[in-house]
Amino acid sequence: MAPLLSMNRISKRRPDKAREWLFDDITAAIDKGERVALLGASGTGKSTLLRIAALLEPIDDGELHLEGIAQISFKPEHWRKKISYVAQAPVMLAGTVEQNLRTASELHGTLFDEPLARRCMAEAELGHLDWKKPAAELSGGEKQRTALVRSLLLRPAMLLLDETTSSLDPTSKEAVEHMLNRWAEREGTAMAWITHDMEQSRSVSDQIWFMGDGKLLERGDTKAFFQGPSTEQARRFIQKPIEREAGGNE
Ligand SMILES: Nc1ncnc2c1ncn2[C@@H]1O[C@H](COP(=O)(O)OP(=O)(O)OP(=O)(O)O)[C@@H](O)[C@H]1O
């Protein structure tokens, strides 16, 4: 059976210096239900790669396939119902929390599953939130979790999570990790997380993808990666949390 998402020899030029490659020749695939943590230093192109996978940025070379079907055969909105990108800076739609949560069912033309929405909000530690509140008035962390629940309600086959817990306190962060692990188990949703938090990457992934030097340098089992990465770049990366944090993340 074809993988859920395949990336075949994907290359992208730097948005700021078009003559240089940000990365090139990236080939990787993710199967239904697989959980990947995407690691790499700041500026290596992790967000760009996930945005490409959600058709939010064009590629300069290579091909994407969804369940074996070439990307060119899809309308972007159909692709994005299957592969949903949750941005680091949450985008709230105009209106109330409830209107934001209802977006998925309105897009699909299906009934709003309110019990599921309430359960997800409670699991994300947002059970107390007044759904009549304008979404613009939520805190950064509340927006991040509401945007995440809104994406879950789309029931995508794959979620692309771009530093999804970066504005959260440790308790909420753990709640979101548990919620997403349970969701992946229950729904068979594939997930790719960008994170700068090594503990998080261990607890939310079965596989690590490590980017550096314009390449996908490593791709393999999470435990094996942390026990002994095969490249010097990855070895240095996991040994230097202080420098990584100084890069301005989490
Ligand atoms: N719209 C843009 N205009 C100009 N440069 C951009 C744009 N988007 C990305 N870049 C540049 O491309 C490079 C890769 O950015 P990207 O956000 O994909 O990296 P990243 O690995 O996700 O970084 P971080 O870990 O800091 O979030 C960076 O040097 C960034 O400045």
DSSP designation for 16: S
Ligand 1 in contact with 46 (CB < 6 A)? yes
Q: How far is the CA of 116 from the centre of ligand 1 (A)?
A: 35
Express each pLDDT in 158-201 by its tens digit.
999 999 998 889 999 999 999 999 999 999 999 999 999 999 99
Least confident span in 10-14, 65-69, 83-87, 107-111: 107-111
The count of structural domains within the chain is: 1
Structural domain boundaries, residue 222:
5-246
Secondary element (H or E) of residue 235: helix 232-239
Out of 48, 52, 162, 210, mutate this one to test ligand 1's pocket (max ligand atoms within 8 Å of CB): namely 48
Residues 28 and 218: their CA atoms lie apart, in Å, by 10
Instruction: Return the bridge partners of 219, or none.
Output: 209
Which H or E run contains 242?
A: helix 241-246
The tokens for 87 are: 């941005």
What separation in Å is there between the alpha carbon of 122 and the centre of ligand 1?
33
| Cβ-proximal residues to 40 (8 Å cutoff; 6+ apart), any chain | 46, 210, 211, 212, 237
Does residue 44's CB lie within 6 angstroms of at least one atom of ligand 1?
Answer: yes
pLDDT at 154 over 50: yes
Say which CATH number the domain at 94 has. Answer: 3.40.50.300
| pLDDT single digits (tens) 85-137 | 999 888 899 999 999 999 888 877 888 999 999 999 999 999 999 999 999 99
Question: What sign does the dihedral 122-127-133-137 (CA atoms) show?
Answer: negative
Whether the CB-CB separation of 55 and 47 falls below 8 Å is answered with no
In the chain, DSSP finds a helix count (H) and a strand count (E) of 11, 10
Arithmetic mean of pLDDT, 34-62: 95
Backbone angles phi, psi at 193, to 5 degrees: -105, 130
Q: What is the ipTM of this complex?
A: 0.93
User: With bands split at pLDDT 50, 70 and 90, how would you rate the model's confidence at 241?
Assistant: low
- What is the C-alpha separation between 70 and 91, in angstroms, rounded? 29
DSSP conformational letter for 61: E
pLDDT the model gives residue 67? 96
Q: Where are the alpha helices (DSSP H) in 28-139?
A: 46-53, 76-82, 97-101, 103-108, 114-123
Q: In what order do the strands lie in the sheet with 69-70?
A: 21-30, 5-13, 61-66, 69-70
Helix extents (H) in 83-231:
97-101, 103-108, 114-123, 140-152, 170-187, 198-204, 222-227
